[in-house]
């Protein structure tokens, strides 16, 4: 390391030894008072919840702040910082001091699983939907149900407004504080048809309103630009069929069919067959990127940013990146959203993501006086808490006039030169979904993002109000046994699906065998999957 | 062999060509990262970068070096690597030397116990409990102490020590030196090659390690660069997989050129270490293994 050439090895060795010896001395000093050192994880575990008498102290004004350690996954784009304005607001309003433990998102699961397995949970832990079901029965998470009536009136109110939350319950009990969206001001995201409107105009074409018209338009694109592959995919055909089959009036793979009020394994549906037939037609005429099965996200982005592809049916927020890249060389180039396309019967429907993430914060079952933490979370569900955890400090970071929130211009200016102004601002404030909020509101995003996003989000919203766009429903809660069965069945059926779907699209297997394919799947487990879903769904209803 | 007058056969030509292709395959990814990291972001997005940078900009590096977590993580990695290697060399040689002495009582039994750990490992959870029990969680010691001795490297070092002539020990003892003095004044000075090799091996493993830091550290100020790097590189992939995974408006994509700039910065120091230690590395590891 310290590679001065003329120093003899002896010297280096000697200094190394000296360094190490002093290090060893330090080490022993450290392990000597390890109890003092060991603050974060063990403070709560050492003492049982017996001395609940002290909890009454929280009512007096001079009570010392309750310290709560919160661990959550941390993104590069919006780092979760300690002592942010939002956390100070929580301190001010609930007398709770949050200690942040931000664990990189890339490896969050590894850390979370280790902590759960060794029973070394922090006081509060961020978990995904599936984690609650997996671990609820082990007793590491606190069951919140007994506390809800007394300590969480705001949460109860919010839950009533979004019944999907009930699917997070395990055997009727709630184990985590679900992260929900304030849907009046939520960004409405989903996979929608996006087309290069400048090319439409250039070729004097009307915007397509049905999938058949889309086919004609793509064909015209190909004629005008023979080198292009008008439609580009990412993540392979199975990912795309999940929403395309639904838009064609069917679904894929297992999905909730609102017309029949039950779950259906969609491969037998007409919509799925039409979607595959449609893609097969595009593939044959080279309207779909022939490499569609293997395109990486990066290649897909390159295709769309370079004009090699002119249409995509995916998360529309990508389009702002594509437009920015395209407009550097061609100022008129622009992707814009098409209204949802009609299937062969003239029906329109499309999924959107539920703005509520439904991930949760759980409390460790070893925590003392959990009602203090529950009260803090409940405050975060209140209107006041929502504002503090999404907008920052009133008067300083935002103003409110007749219910309309305005983000302070000075705040927006402070971050406008950043690479991602919105997330830089949120990181500074400690607000929003990627920081610490259980009730999210996307007002700040619209204030600091390209205006186009708001336009598209509103377009989705109005189609949602018209009943065309629906929020993708969550799976019903399964029992442990059902989950094990599903895992096996899904891998068995999934393998068959993966082996065959691309064959159909590429024409290696004749489309006339689609019905036979559906039968194959049903007999190899798709029918069982359907049954498990519907049984679980029936229990919920 | 007559230098300079050699005739080149067809085999040489083909050989050289194949080697050139191989060299290209090895070097191009690194070169590609370098040119992408200094190219304009939109050009990267359009996939215009192939053999030379387009519209050169240092913005990616500006972003990185103005990012406080990255700078502090870089410093942490330097500390962990240097302190870790010092502890590694000290502990490994202290373990290897007695085991290399024939007169050491119970040598085979001790060797057996130590080598046993090479093949059987308790796994993460017991290790976490031990580190927790020792009160090392959330301190630098959790990073440098549990990995103090790598058994395989220790065996290499032992083999090297064994190869030193026995007469050296005898004459030193005759001059009145005790075991420690022999180790310190005779053995270590003769062990430069193996020490250099070990330095390189251990330094690389410390530099590249992220998992202990992830599991044992809670305070993000203590994170090494690899954790940040992993997060940056993996982030874009995970978050853009599907919209429902993030449930977030706006795409959480880190620009390609920033990703590559961070990768380059993270591999550069350890890359530079190789040329300086390489001559010892080749000699040392050969000496150790051939005579083992």
The answer to whether residue B267 sits within a structural domain is no
* Residue B76 belongs to domain with CATH number: 1.10.3720.10
B241 vs A contacts (CB less than 8 Å): 235, 297
* Shared-domain flag, residues A485 and A417: no
* Shared-domain flag, residues B145 and B218: yes
B243 vs A contacts (CB less than 8 Å): 189-191, 314-315, 353
Give the pLDDT mean for B89-100. 94
Residue B90's closest chain A neighbor by CA? A17
- B180/chain A closest Cα distance in angstroms: 13
- Residue with the bigger pLDDT between B257 and B242: it is B257
Which of B250, B256, B258 to mutate to test binding with chain A, by most A CBs within 10 Å of its CB? B250
B87 vs A contacts (CB less than 8 Å): 20, 23-24
With CB atoms and an 8 Å threshold, state whether B69 touches A79: yes
The answer to whether residue A186 sits within a structural domain is no
* Residue A489 belongs to domain with CATH number: 3.40.190.10
- B10/chain A closest Cα distance in angstroms: 40
* Shared-domain flag, residues A409 and A311: no
* Shared-domain flag, residues A253 and A394: no
- Residue with the bigger pLDDT between A376 and B9: it is A376
* Shared-domain flag, residues B52 and B144: no
Task: Give the residue ranges of DSSP H helices in A194-317.
Answer: 197-202, 211-224, 236-247, 270-284, 297-305
The answer to whether residue B259 sits within a structural domain is no
* Shared-domain flag, residues B192 and B239: yes
* Shared-domain flag, residues B227 and B113: yes
Tens of pLDDT along chain A (541 residues)?
444 444 444 444 444 444 444 444 444 444 333 333 333 343 333 333 334 334 444 444 557 889 999 999 888 888 898 889 999 999 999 999 999 999 988 888 889 999 998 888 999 999 988 888 888 888 899 999 999 999 999 999 999 988 889 889 888 899 999 999 998 888 888 899 999 999 999 999 999 999 999 999 999 999 999 999 999 988 889 989 999 999 999 999 899 999 889 999 989 889 999 999 999 999 999 999 999 988 888 888 889 998 999 999 998 888 888 898 898 889 999 999 999 999 988 899 999 888 888 899 999 999 999 999 999 999 999 999 999 999 999 999 999 988 888 999 999 999 888 777 888 899 999 998 889 999 999 888 888 888 888 899 999 999 999 999 999 888 888 888 888 899 999 999 999 999 999 999 999 999 999 999 999 999 999 999 999 999 999 988 7
With CB atoms and an 8 Å threshold, state whether B128 touches A114: yes
A118 vs B contacts (CB less than 8 Å): 125, 128-129, 132
Which of A104, A470, A474 to mutate to test binding with chain B, by most B CBs within 10 Å of its CB? A104
* Shared-domain flag, residues A516 and A532: yes
Residue ranges making up the domain that contains B189: 69-254
Task: Give the residue ranges of DSSP H helices in chain B.
Answer: 10-37, 41-45, 59-65, 68-100, 107-119, 124-133, 141-144, 151-163, 166-174, 179-181, 188-190, 192-208, 211-216, 225-241, 243-246, 256-290
The answer to whether residue A367 sits within a structural domain is yes
Contact B209/A at CB under 8 A: no
Position B50 scores a pLDDT of 86
The answer to whether residue B15 sits within a structural domain is yes
Pick the last residue of a domain from A391, A425, A441.
Answer: A441
* Shared-domain flag, residues A489 and A416: no
- B8/chain A closest Cα distance in angstroms: 39
Position B248 scores a pLDDT of 44
Element (H, E) at A495: helix A480-506
Contact B166/A at CB under 8 A: no
With CB atoms and an 8 Å threshold, state whether B243 touches A190: yes
* Shared-domain flag, residues A285 and A158: no
Residue A301's closest chain B neighbor by CA? B45
* Shared-domain flag, residues B25 and B78: no
What's the pLDDT band for B154 if we cut at 50, 70, 90? very high
The answer to whether residues A71 and A126 touch, using CB atoms and an 8 Å cutoff, is yes
* Shared-domain flag, residues B223 and B172: yes
- A516/chain B closest Cα distance in angstroms: 30
* Shared-domain flag, residues B47 and B74: no
Position B283 scores a pLDDT of 61
Q: Distance between CA atoms of A174 and A41, rounded to whole angstroms?
A: 24
Pick the last residue of a domain from A396, A417, A441.
Answer: A441
Position A157 scores a pLDDT of 93
CB atoms within 10 A of CB A354: 23
How many domains would you assign to chain A? 2
Residue A452's closest chain B neighbor by CA? B250
Give the pLDDT mean for B18-47. 89
The answer to whether residue A412 sits within a structural domain is yes
Pick the last residue of a domain from A441, A456, A490.
Answer: A441
Residue-by-residue DSSP string for A315-379 = ETTHHHHHHHHHHTT-TT--EEEPPPPB-TTS-B-EEE--SS---EEEEBTT-SSHHHHHHHHHH
With CB atoms and an 8 Å threshold, state whether B203 touches A1: yes
With CB atoms and an 8 Å threshold, state whether A321 touches B210: no
How many domains would you assign to chain B? 2
Which of B140, B243, B253, B261 to mutate to test binding with chain A, by most A CBs within 10 Å of its CB? B243
Position B166 pLDDT exceeds 60? yes
* Shared-domain flag, residues A394 and A332: no
* Shared-domain flag, residues A299 and A239: yes
Contact B232/A at CB under 8 A: yes
The answer to whether residues B277 and B200 touch, using CB atoms and an 8 Å cutoff, is yes
Residue ranges making up the domain that contains A297: 191-352+474-540
Position B282 scores a pLDDT of 65
The answer to whether residue A478 sits within a structural domain is yes
Q: Distance between CA atoms of A205 and A211, rounded to whole angstroms?
A: 15
Q: Distance between CA atoms of B58 and B45, rounded to whole angstroms?
A: 17
Q: Distance between CA atoms of A241 and A227, rounded to whole angstroms?
A: 26
- B46/chain A closest Cα distance in angstroms: 5
Give the pLDDT mean for B209-223. 90
* Shared-domain flag, residues B47 and B172: no
What's the pLDDT band for B236 if we cut at 50, 70, 90? low
A76 vs B contacts (CB less than 8 Å): 228, 231-232, 235, 254
A321 vs B contacts (CB less than 8 Å): 45, 251, 253
Position A434 scores a pLDDT of 87
The answer to whether residue A389 sits within a structural domain is yes
The answer to whether residue B291 sits within a structural domain is no
Phi, psi of A455 (to 5 degrees): -60, -45
What's the pLDDT band for B281 if we cut at 50, 70, 90? low
A71 vs B contacts (CB less than 8 Å): 218
From chain B residues 73-92, the ones with a CB under 8 A of any chain A CB are 81-83, 85-87, 89-91
* Shared-domain flag, residues B199 and B222: yes
Cα–Cα nearest to A345, from A269, A265, A233, A241? A269
What is the ipTM metric for this complex? 0.78
Cα–Cα nearest to A314, from A249, A208, A232, A196? A232
* Shared-domain flag, residues B80 and B21: no
Position A502 scores a pLDDT of 92
* Shared-domain flag, residues B52 and B131: no
A185 vs B contacts (CB less than 8 Å): none
* Shared-domain flag, residues A482 and A339: yes
The answer to whether residues B187 and B97 touch, using CB atoms and an 8 Å cutoff, is yes
The answer to whether residue B287 sits within a structural domain is no
* Shared-domain flag, residues A111 and A126: yes
The answer to whether residue B242 sits within a structural domain is yes
The answer to whether residue B272 sits within a structural domain is no
- B126/chain A closest Cα distance in angstroms: 8
DSSP A56: G
With CB atoms and an 8 Å threshold, state whether A76 touches B228: yes
Position B240 pLDDT exceeds 80? no
Q: Percentage of residues in chain B with pLDDT exceeding 90?
A: 36
With CB atoms and an 8 Å threshold, state whether B192 touches A71: no
With CB atoms and an 8 Å threshold, state whether A23 touches B247: no
* Shared-domain flag, residues A212 and A346: yes
Residue found under tokens 């460790």: A364
- B111/chain A closest Cα distance in angstroms: 24
Q: Smallest Cβ distance to B249: which of A187, A298, A356? A: A187
The answer to whether residue A18 sits within a structural domain is no
- B291/chain A closest Cα distance in angstroms: 23
The answer to whether residue B143 sits within a structural domain is yes
The answer to whether residue A77 sits within a structural domain is yes
With CB atoms and an 8 Å threshold, state whether A433 touches B254: no
* Shared-domain flag, residues B147 and B244: yes
* Shared-domain flag, residues A338 and A379: no
The answer to whether residue A57 sits within a structural domain is no
Q: Distance between CA atoms of B88 and B149, rounded to whole angstroms?
A: 6
């Amino acid at each position: 390391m310290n590679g001065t050439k003329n120093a003899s090895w002896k010297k280096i060795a000697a200094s190394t030894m000296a360094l190490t010896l002093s290090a060893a001395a330090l080490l022993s000093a450290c392990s000597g008072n390890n109890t003092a050192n060991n603050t974060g994880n063990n403070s709560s575990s050492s003492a049982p919840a017996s001395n609940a008498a002290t909890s009454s102290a929280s009512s007096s004004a001079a009570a010392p702040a309750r310290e709560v350690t919160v661990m959550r996954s941390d993104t590069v784009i919006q780092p979760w910082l300690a002592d942010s304005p939002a956390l100070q607001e929580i301190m001010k309003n609930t007398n709770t001091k949050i200690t942040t433990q931000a664990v990189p998102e890339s490896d969050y699961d590894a850390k979370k699983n280790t902590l759960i397995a060794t029973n070394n949970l922090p006081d509060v832990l961020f978990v995904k939907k599936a984690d609650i079901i997996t671990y609820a029965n082990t007793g590491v998470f606190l069951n919140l149900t007994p506390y809800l009536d007394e300590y969480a009136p705001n949460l109860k109110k919010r839950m009533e407004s979004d019944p999907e939350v009930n699917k997070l319950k395990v055997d009727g009990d709630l184990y985590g504080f679900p992260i929900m969206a304030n849907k009046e001001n939520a960004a409405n995201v989903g996979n929608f048809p996006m087309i290069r409107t400048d090319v439409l105009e250039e070729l004097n074409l009307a915007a397509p309103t049905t999938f058949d018209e889309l086919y004609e338009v793509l064909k015209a694109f190909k004629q005008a630009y023979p080198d292009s592959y008008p439609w580009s995919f990412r993540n392979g055909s199975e990912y795309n069929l999940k929403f395309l089959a639904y838009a064609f009036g069917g679904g894929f793979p297992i999905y909730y069919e609102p017309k029949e009020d039950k779950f259906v394994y969609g491969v037998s549906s007409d919509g799925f067959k039409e979607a595959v037939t449609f893609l097969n037609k595009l593939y044959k005429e080279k309207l779909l990127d022939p490499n569609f099965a293997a395109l990486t996200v990066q290649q897909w982005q390159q295709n769309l940013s370079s004009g090699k592809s002119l249409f995509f049916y995916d998360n529309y927020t990508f389009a702002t990146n594509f437009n920015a890249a395209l407009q550097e060389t061609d100022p008129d180039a622009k992707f814009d959203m098409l209204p949802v396309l009609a299937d062969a019967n003239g029906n329109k429907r499309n999924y959107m993501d539920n703005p509520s993430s439904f991930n949760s914060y759980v409390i460790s079952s070893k925590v003392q006086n959990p009602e203090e933490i529950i009260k803090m979370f409940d405050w975060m569900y209140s209107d006041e808490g929502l504002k503090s955890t999404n907008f920052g400090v009133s008067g300083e970071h935002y103003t409110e006039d007749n219910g309309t929130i305005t983000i302070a211009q000075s705040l927006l200016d402070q971050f406008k030169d950043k690479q991602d102004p919105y997330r830089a601002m949120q990181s500074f404030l400690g607000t929003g979904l990627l920081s610490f909020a259980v009730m999210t509101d996307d007002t700040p995003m619209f204030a600091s993002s390209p205006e186009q996003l708001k336009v598209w989000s509103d377009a989705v919203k109005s189609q949602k109000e018209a009943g065309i766009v629906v929020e993708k429903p969550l799976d019903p809660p399964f029992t442990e046994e059902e989950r094990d069965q599903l895992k096996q069945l899904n891998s068995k059926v999934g393998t068959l699906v993966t082996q065959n779907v691309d064959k159909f699209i590429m024409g290696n297997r004749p489309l006339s065998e689609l019905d036979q394919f559906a039968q194959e799947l049903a007999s190899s487990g798709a029918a069982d999957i359907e049954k498990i879903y519907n049984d679980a769904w029936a229990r919920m209803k | 062999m007559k230098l300079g007058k050699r005739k080149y056969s067809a085999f040489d030509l083909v050989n050289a060509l194949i080697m050139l292709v191989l060299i290209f395959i090895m070097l191009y990814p690194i070169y590609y990262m370098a040119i992408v990291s200094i190219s304009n972001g939109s050009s990267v997005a359009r996939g215009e970068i192939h053999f030379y940078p387009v519209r050169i900009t240092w913005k990616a590096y500006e972003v990185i070096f103005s990012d406080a977590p990255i700078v502090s993580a870089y410093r942490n990695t330097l500390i962990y690597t240097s302190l870790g290697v010092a502890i590694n060399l000290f502990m490994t040689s202290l373990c290897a030397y007695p085991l290399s002495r024939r007169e050491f009582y119970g040598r085979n039994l001790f060797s057996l116990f130590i080598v046993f750990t090479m093949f059987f490992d308790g796994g993460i959870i017991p290790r976490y409990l031990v580190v927790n029990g020792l009160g090392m969680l959330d301190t630098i010691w959790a990073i440098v102490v549990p990995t103090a001795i790598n058994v395989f490297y220790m065996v290499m070092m032992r083999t090297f020590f064994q190869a030193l002539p026995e007469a050296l020990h005898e004459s030193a003892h005759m001059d009145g030196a005790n075991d420690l003095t022999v180790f310190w004044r005779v053995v270590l000075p003769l062990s430069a090659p193996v020490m250099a090799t070990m330095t390189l091996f251990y330094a690389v493993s410390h530099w590249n390690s992220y998992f202990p830091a992830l599991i044992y550290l809670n305070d993000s100020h203590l994170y090494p660069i690899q954790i940040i790097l992993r997060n940056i590189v993996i982030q874009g992939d995970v978050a853009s997989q599907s919209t429902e995974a993030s449930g977030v408006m706006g795409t959480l994509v880190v620009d390609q050129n920033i990703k590559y700039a961070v990768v380059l910065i993270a591999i550069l120091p350890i890359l530079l270490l190789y040329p300086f230690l390489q001559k010892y590395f080749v000699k040392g590891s050969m000496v150790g293994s051939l005579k083992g």
